[in-house]
Structure 1
Amino acid sequence: MIPFLDLQAQYASIKEEADAAVLRVLASGQYVLGDEVAMFEREFAAYCGTKHAIALNSGTSALHLALLAAGIGPGDEVITVPFTFVATVSAICYIGARPIFVDVEPVTLTMDPGKLEAAITPNTKAIVPVHLYGQMADMDPIMEIADRYSIPVIEDACQAHGAEYDGMRAGSMGISGCFSFYPGKNLGACGEGGIVVTNDDAHMQAIRMLRDWGQDRRYHHAIKGFNYRMDGIQGAILRIKLRHLDAWTTARRNHAQHYGQLLANSSVVQIPKQVANRRHVYHIYAVRTPDRDSLQQVLQHEGIHTGLHYPIPVHLQKAHADLGHKVGGFPRSEAAAKTVLSLPLYPELKPWQVERVVEVVEQMAYVG
């Protein structure tokens, strides 16, 4: 059996460090926020090349508070893409704003800058590009348009820890960047977690207050806030994992290159493409194939687990039917949803496992 993800193997590789970190927190009594979280914030900000990082309880909370700190509220419009995890859109809805979709580029499946300007109205108050599968969106033209209209950009970098665009780290180009530490992410907690990075002092202060009941000091609630604080144990574990992230990213990129070499001339699947000026960190290795469901069944039959990221674009989800979109509204996102299949990819994957996956994929060329 080849799993889609092997968190037990990752834990085994850092067991002594992780166990010691957890015991250190238990002994300290600092179970919510505390020194470990504060140190992780400083270390992750340095990793991203930003002044500040504010640790939270999830990536969804990061998106929610980044939007609030940017002054977005009821009646405002926020531009994003429909081909993303639903949290991107849910966070916009939490604050009473309206998600406005633009379709994705056909190759990277990230926001198409060529469609962005036409979506801007006087009510547009933020743009949220999604760095999908570990590759950043085309940020230069997005930032140029945003700057011309004085619209803040909030990066959804929940899948892009360490990804780069012209040498700039994910999260460092907009007014803020939002990350998830869900366990399966390239940098994953042992539970839930998230963070906002920013160079803006006012945004940092607002998010710190918002995550902790709106307090500017204990029991002084200056604004209405939330309980979005990170646990001390998660901060300690993430500090350990951050030290390994570059090595894990190198392993992911090597596995992706191996897949790419073996599948370069495949008649079954289209492989993901890394754009020249971007560093892809391969959170997901999503191939595309017109017979996706059959291929997934064949792989499953051979003991190879796969994933679907994402089989229904957000504009066609029942939960967001109130937005009024129909099939055909965003054809590239809809085509991607029908054809993407995520193959196993994680640092501990073995070369022979990559080769076995490709062997089974290529069997599809002879089926029927």
Structure 2
Amino acid sequence: MTAPKTRAAQLAVHGGEPVRRTPFPPRGHFGPEEKAAVDALLEQAMATGVAPGYNGPEEEAYCREFAAYLGGGFVDGVNSGTSALYVALKALALEPFSEVIVAAVTDPGGMMPIPLLNLIPMVADTAPGSFNTGPEQVEALITPLTRAIVVSHIGGEPADMPGILTVAERHGLPVIEDASQAHGARLNGRFVGTFGTIGIFSTMSGKHHASGAQGGLIYTRDEQLYQAVRRAADRGKPFFLPPGSTNVTAGLNLNLNEIAAAIGRVQLRKLPEIVARRQVVVGKLAEGLADLATVSLPPLLDGAEASYWFLRLRFHPERAHCDKETYCRALAAEGLPINPSYRAALPHTMDWFVHRRVFGRSGYPWASPDYQGDRERQFPCPNAEAAMDTHFNLQLHENWGAAEIADALAIFRKVDATLRRD
């Protein structure tokens, strides 16, 4: 069924006048402070003849400051969020061909390190109406082979960590929190990334706070685990071991560097304001969207404070004259920056996972005779599929001002008024 022609013709997608002709502005989150930090390092390099390296004073300060931001503990810097997960798993010293539960909705880099370490990813569905997994979905996958759980906080929305930790503790399992999209988000007043055994963060250029083009941070309150993280991140070097020790495990060079750390320190000082301003933007959008029929903001968990890497919105097809794809095309034509589909965050549906392409065509780690589980197990995720079918993402940031908020609301109201069922 389609909207009445007289109304539909007003939409930009049908040749009408768009609400906004100029693109929404980029973030502009790098400024003179970041330039000054990098310049200082380069000037020092020119004066001394020694190029900026890694594991130096800038990285040490960055890690110390990020740990303090999270309320105390230990942090190591690495070169990406994917590396952060790889190192966290490596530091836990899980035996090959054991199983690791991982959320269905995540960046591919939030899942790929599992099989790269010859561990078996077990894909947990999301909680109903959410991009995040929940305790029930995690517990459904626990077997005698389960050795760890990886939980992602997608889009800056906290997952149910108290519930998931109750499950993990009942089965004696460590939990890695992937807070790459959720810097500064809180649950019951506590930062996400601090609930589990280890928290990991991506600091690539698009995240809430960035250390340049790429970067990552690994957090724990356990000093011995931190020491294992340091060794796993730098080719097994014998950090914190007796003199005369040599490299204690095979590992990769996944270090952060001094230039990235210098940028990250500046960005970290901006992070509280970045999160607060995103929350203000979303608060104003929520007020303006409250009475619309075709779209709504899904509720957060009780006690959750999201940091909104993007804003997840629910489309209500039963209240509209069109499907979600048509609705999103109408929004985009009016000038709104949206991602109509988040299926790129379902790595278990991708060729590499479906065809077990991790180590050539061997099918390893699933094909190993040492794996005692179901090599052909499938992971239907009906809740995640339903969420993908009914949700889309608004790409916003902390530097949206009154004009951007007003235009976004005008676009939603125009499309809602045109495509809603009367």
Q: Quick one: distance in 2 between partners of 1:87 and 1:322? A: 17
What's the counterpart of residue 326 of structure 2? 294
- SS of 2:206's equivalent? coil
Deviation at 1:309, TM superposition (A): 6.2
What's the counterpart of residue 281 of structure 2? 255
Deviation at 1:325, TM superposition (A): 6.6
Unaligned runs of 5+ in 2: 1-20, 45-50, 318-322, 357-375
What's the counterpart of residue 274 of structure 1? 300
What's the counterpart of residue 389 of structure 2? 338
Deviation at 1:250, TM superposition (A): 0.8
Listed one character per residue, the Cα deviations across residues 24-82 of structure 1 (whole Å, up to 9, x for unaligned) are 22133323331111100000011112410000000000011101111224211111221
Unaligned runs of 5+ in 1: none
Larger radius of gyration: 2
The amino acid across from 1:302 in the alignment is: E
What's the counterpart of residue 214 of structure 1? 236
Q: Quick one: distance in 2 between partners of 1:349 and 1:104? A: 30
- SS of 2:127's equivalent? coil
- Give the root-mean-square deviation of aligned CA atoms: 2.2
What's the counterpart of residue 75 of structure 2? 53
What's the counterpart of residue 16 of structure 1? 32
Q: Quick one: distance in 2 between partners of 1:149 and 1:201? A: 23
Percent identity over paired residues: 31
- SS of 2:400's equivalent? coil
Q: How does 1:233-244 map to 2 (within 5 A)?
A: 233-244=259-270
Instruction: Count matched residues.
Output: 363
Query: Cα distance 1:88–1:3, how it changes in 2: closer, same or farther (>3 A)?
Result: farther
What's the counterpart of residue 350 of structure 1? 401
Q: Quick one: distance in 2 between partners of 1:295 and 1:2? A: 20
Q: Are the equivalent residues in 2 in contact too, given 1:37–1:235 (CA < 8 A)?
A: yes
Q: How does 1:139-288 map to 2 (within 5 A)?
A: 139-216=161-238, 220-288=246-314
- SS of 1:179's equivalent? strand
Query: Cα distance 1:223–1:252, how it changes in 2: closer, same or farther (>3 A)?
Result: same
Q: Are the equivalent residues in 1 in contact too, given 2:129–2:387 (CA < 8 A)?
A: no
Q: Quick one: distance in 1 between partners of 2:98 and 2:23? A: 43
Q: Are the equivalent residues in 2 in contact too, given 1:3–1:344 (CA < 8 A)?
A: no
What's the counterpart of residue 47 of structure 2? none
Give the alignment partner of residue 109 of structure 1, picking from 105, 109, 131. Answer: 131
Deviation at 1:3, TM superposition (A): 5.0
Q: Are the equivalent residues in 1 in contact too, given 2:211–2:262 (CA < 8 A)?
A: no
The amino acid across from 2:187 in the alignment is: Y
Q: Quick one: distance in 2 between partners of 1:147 and 1:68? A: 21
Q: Quick one: distance in 2 between partners of 1:90 and 1:5? A: 33
Q: Are the equivalent residues in 1 in contact too, given 2:325–2:340 (CA < 8 A)?
A: no
Q: Quick one: distance in 2 between partners of 1:4 and 1:116? A: 39
Listed one character per residue, the Cα deviations across residues 240-277 of structure 1 (whole Å, up to 9, x for unaligned) are 11111111111100011111111112212121323231
The amino acid across from 2:307 in the alignment is: V
Could you tell me the TM-score, scaled by structure 2's length? 0.81
Q: Is 1:321–2:337 an aligned residue pair?
A: no
Q: Quick one: distance in 2 between partners of 1:50 and 1:172? A: 10
Q: Quick one: distance in 2 between partners of 1:293 and 1:72? A: 43
